[in-house]
Amino acid sequence: MANILDFVSLMRVRQWYKNLIIFAPAFFAGRISQLGMIESLFIGFLSLCLISSSGYVINDIIDAGMDKAHPAKKNRAIARGAVGKNWAATFAAILAIIGILIPIGFGLGMHFLFLAAILLALMQAYNLWLKRIAFLDVNALALNYIVRSFAGAAIAGVVLSEWFFLGAYLLALFLALAKRRADLSALGNAAKKYKAVMEVYTLPILDKLLQISAALLLGTYMLYTFQSPAKNAAFLLGTIPLVFFCTFRYMWLATKTRHSGGISPGRMAEDLPIAISGALTVFLFCLAIYF
């Protein structure tokens, strides 16, 4: 019989970090310290987290049969039979409804509500269709981050720059490709049983796509730092070697891992060199924008 911990596990709270990008537009626009901004963004963050969790539950319902044979996913609540599919579907609906009602109740505005609804629809489209189409699957995952970014911009009342849009998209694409690469490396030919797209993806193809996305990401980042409107933009030049280091090290981790999901972006903080470099980068951005 299911208990509350089984339902909590379905929410994949560890993946809520993906919604932290909602804070980025206000931070880069220099508005994160404005009165009430953090509170509004946190409410929006909670809304997107519940909507995301709804998508994760639906994904587990659809993939339950394949997850039972997966070395890691077989322990998920639905795959091991701890939560029935009907109960899970009801839970997913509740999460989605609460996620949509939160911005209505707290007055986050119609723009945010519209974007929250788009994220919900996009995640379900991914679960039902997009994740089965190679190359479109990783682009759909990247688009999720763009929608989250626009949601943050709607709360902050800012317009996303072309550099932010392109940088966020390329970063999300890079991370999605790295995850596919890690899964294929860990599972080998067996990966085809768990993801239809693995019929198309190969290690050489994913390595080339990783290299292309990394090159575009780093080029975009350098151009952003050169043209940044920040008050003390010179500090941003110091972030360039740090960002290069993080990108190169993440690529190395992606190619050396032998554990499915071992390169999850949410676990980057567990790698001390990346964590330190990331903290220094954020510190330099604070100096550039707020001091």
Residue 9: CATH number of its domain: 1.10.357.140
C-alpha span between 146 and 223 (Å, rounded): 20
pLDDT confidence of residue 269: 72
Range of the domain at 150: 1-159
Same domain, 224 and 81: no
Same domain, 268 and 282: yes
Same domain, 153 and 177: no
Same domain, 33 and 146: yes
pLDDT confidence of residue 21: 96
C-alpha span between 187 and 66 (Å, rounded): 14
**Among 118, 137, 159, residue at a domain's last position:** 159
Same domain, 274 and 211: yes
- Chain-centre distance of CA 154, in angstroms? 19
- Give, for all 291 residues of the chain, the pLDDT tens digit: 568 999 999 999 999 999 999 999 999 999 998 889 999 999 999 999 999 999 999 999 999 888 887 777 888 989 998 899 999 999 999 999 999 999 999 999 999 999 999 999 999 999 999 999 999 999 999 999 999 999 999 999 999 889 999 999 999 999 999 989 888 887 777 777 778 888 899 999 999 999 999 999 999 999 999 988 888 999 999 999 999 999 999 988 887 755 544 456 666 777 899 999 999 999 999 999 998
Helices 37-62 + 110-128 axis angle, to 10: 20
C-alpha span between 174 and 250 (Å, rounded): 10
Q: Which residues contact 274 (CB under 8 A, 6 or more apart)?
A: 246, 249, 250, 268
Two tokens, residue 75: 């322990």
Same domain, 149 and 193: no
Same domain, 177 and 71: no
Same domain, 123 and 198: no
Same domain, 138 and 188: no
Same domain, 249 and 145: no
**Among 93, 125, 159, residue at a domain's last position:** 159
Q: Which residues contact 282 (CB under 8 A, 6 or more apart)?
A: none
pLDDT confidence of residue 260: 45
Same domain, 27 and 126: yes
Task: Tell me the longest C-alpha to C-alpha distance in the chain.
Answer: 59
Helix spans in the chain (H): 4-10, 24-28, 37-62, 64-67, 85-105, 110-128, 136-156, 162-187, 203-227, 234-237, 239-256, 272-290
Domain count, the chain: 2
Alpha carbon separation from 201 to 12, 50, 286 (Å, rounded): 26, 31, 40
**Among 142, 159, 176, residue at a domain's last position:** 159
List the one residue out of 123, 64, 76, 82 whose CA is nearest residue 99: 123
C-alpha span between 165 and 233 (Å, rounded): 19
pLDDT confidence of residue 261: 46
